[in-house]
């Protein structure tokens, strides 16, 4: 950094769940507001890429909604270097990963607090680099940081690696770095690694992995002996959490929690229900929001609401298949959803319980209103900024903070 100038028919994944200190971790009991949206046109006005039909009403193009609260939007940093992940430190400052391989800490006003060294080298190419970052739920005691990144393999190819290390007392370096997991197989391409890191209440990790994009490898998303295109459940040492849905099953990795995912760059706990939600990129159409449940198959690349970039069908061109989950919501055309977070503050009460997604190609922050497992409203915020919103988090002050590929940190709060 330069110096500052359902899936349908869900069952709850785990009821008592920790969001982790870096992801909003208060639990909510208030239901989201549900204004009358029956006569409001969807925010998406462009024609879809295909003639595929949704599996149920409200699965796409929900009614448009509008935030009634007056908002104050400010840019509090313009000097980040391709930020990728953001999380809250216990004192309210922000820990941010930069794709080139650096971690930085920003003060709550956006000014630079610390630059952190000591991380292993990353493959900063394509969609690879230093990706997500999160802190141990016991960070106040352990000072442990977890991150994932694209790593080159000696035998050839690249893969997603997960590492951990202790933040030094002066916050300038990471010490005792250990790579705790590598998502095999390695691949020659540099696209679609995923990934996000969350902690559960037991202090174990959920890590999302991409299927690496290539038509010669993406079917591995359906392969239980491969770690790509999956949600993984790992201990802090990188081992499989005991009792996983595929533990003891032949030719299956015991750390796999869910599978059949394309490029899951969004992962968040719903603080009102304790359920795990995920967002992923589709190809040409077919971006999805999913409710992640243990052992479930989310279909890619067998079923999808998208088509190939060439215009051809993906596989057999089907959208439903027995044994494969339907998304709670999808987009066509795409918005390219990246980082996601649930808003869980009373500061902007009409947002409480809503899901927010950073849209890359869509160049806005997407707000989804939720009732149970149904999306009942969609809003596009900051669409006039022409920014690719990469990741976002709720700050301790009840404002929404978002980083962009252009190197900015936005604060969206109540005026």
Q: Which of 13-17, 210-214, 361-365 has the lowest mean pLDDT?
A: 13-17
Two structure tokens written together for 105: 């800490």
Residue ranges of alpha helices (H) inside 118-252 are: 139-142
Is the pLDDT assigned to residue 32 strictly greater than 50? Answer: no
Is the pLDDT assigned to residue 29 strictly greater than 60? Answer: no
Q: What is the pLDDT of residue 22?
A: 54
Residue ranges of alpha helices (H) inside 63-151 are: 139-142
Q: What is the pLDDT of residues 171-200, one digit of tens each?
A: 999 999 999 999 999 999 999 999 999 999
**Whole-angstrom Cα distance, residue 316 to residue 324?**
15
Q: What is the pLDDT of residues 120-150, one digit of tens each?
A: 999 999 999 999 999 999 999 999 999 999 9
Domains of the chain: 71-414 (2.120.10.30)
Two structure tokens written together for 223: 């392969």
Q: In 3D, which of 193, 184, 178, 185 has the Cα closest to residue 125?
A: 193
Q: What is the pLDDT of residue 13?
A: 37
**Whole-angstrom Cα distance, residue 217 to residue 187?**
8
Give the up-direction half-sphere exposure of residue 30: CA atoms within 13 A in the CB hemisphere: 15
Q: What is the pLDDT of residues 219-252, one digit of tens each?
A: 999 999 999 999 999 999 999 999 999 999 999 9
Query: At CB < 8 A and 24+ separation, what contacts does 27-31 make?
Result: 27/271, 27/272, 27/274, 27/344, 28/271, 28/272, 28/344, 28/352, 28/353, 29/272, 30/272, 30/346, 30/352, 30/353, 31/272, 31/353
**pTM (global) more than 0.85:** yes
Q: In 3D, which of 38, 45, 37 has the Cα closest to residue 332?
A: 45
């Amino acid at each position: 950094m330069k110096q500052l100038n359902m899936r349908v028919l869900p069952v709850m994944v785990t009821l008592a769940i920790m969001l982790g200190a870096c992801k909003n971790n208060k639990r909510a009991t208030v239901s989201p507001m549900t204004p009358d949206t029956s006569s409001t046109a969807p925010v998406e006005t462009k024609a879809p890429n295909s003639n595929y039909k949704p599996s149920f009403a409200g699965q796409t193009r929900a009614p448009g909604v509008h935030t009634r609260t007056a908002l104050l939007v400010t840019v509090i940093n313009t000097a980040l270097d391709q930020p990728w992940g953001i999380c809250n430190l216990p004192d309210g400052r922000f820990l941010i990963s930069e794709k080139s391989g650096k971690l930085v800490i920003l003060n709550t006003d956006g000014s630079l607090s610390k630059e952190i060294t000591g991380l292993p080298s990353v493959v900063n190419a394509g969609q690879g680099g230093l990706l997500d970052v999160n802190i141990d739920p016991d960070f106040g005691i352990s000072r442990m940081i977890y991150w994932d990144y694209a790593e080159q393999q000696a035998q050839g190819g690249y893969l997603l690696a997960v590492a951990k290390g202790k933040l030094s007392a002066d916050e300038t370096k990471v010490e005792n770095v250990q790579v705790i997991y590598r998502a095999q197989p390695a691949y020659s391409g540099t696209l679609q690694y995923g990934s996000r890191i969350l902690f559960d209440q037991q202090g174990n990790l959920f890590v999302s992995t991409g299927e690496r994009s290539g038509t010669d490898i993406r079917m591995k998303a359906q392969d239980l002996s491969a770690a790509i295109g999956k949600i993984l459940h790992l201990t802090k040492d990188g081992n499989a959490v005991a009792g996983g849905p595929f533990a003891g099953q032949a030719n299956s990795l015991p750390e796999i929690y869910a599978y059949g995912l394309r490029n899951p760059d969004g992962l968040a706990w719903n603080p009102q229900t304790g359920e795990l939600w995920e967002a992923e990129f589709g190809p040409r159409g077919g971006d999805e929001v999913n409710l992640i449940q243990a052992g479930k198959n989310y279909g890619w690349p067998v079923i999808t609401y998208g088509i190939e970039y060439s215009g051809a069908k993906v596989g057999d061109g089907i959208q439903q298949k027995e044994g494969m989950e339907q998304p709670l919501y999808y987009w066509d055309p795409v918005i390219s959803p990246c980082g996601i977070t649930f808003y869980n503050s009373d500061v902007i009460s009409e947002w409480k319980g809503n899901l927010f997604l950073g849209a890359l190609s869509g160049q806005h922050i997407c707000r989804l209103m939720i009732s149970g497992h149904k999306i009942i409203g969609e809003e596009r915020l900051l669409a006039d900024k022409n920014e690719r919103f990469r990741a976002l988090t709720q700050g301790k002050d009840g404002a929404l903070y978002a980083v962009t590929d252009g190197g900015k940190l936005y604060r969206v709060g109540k005026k």
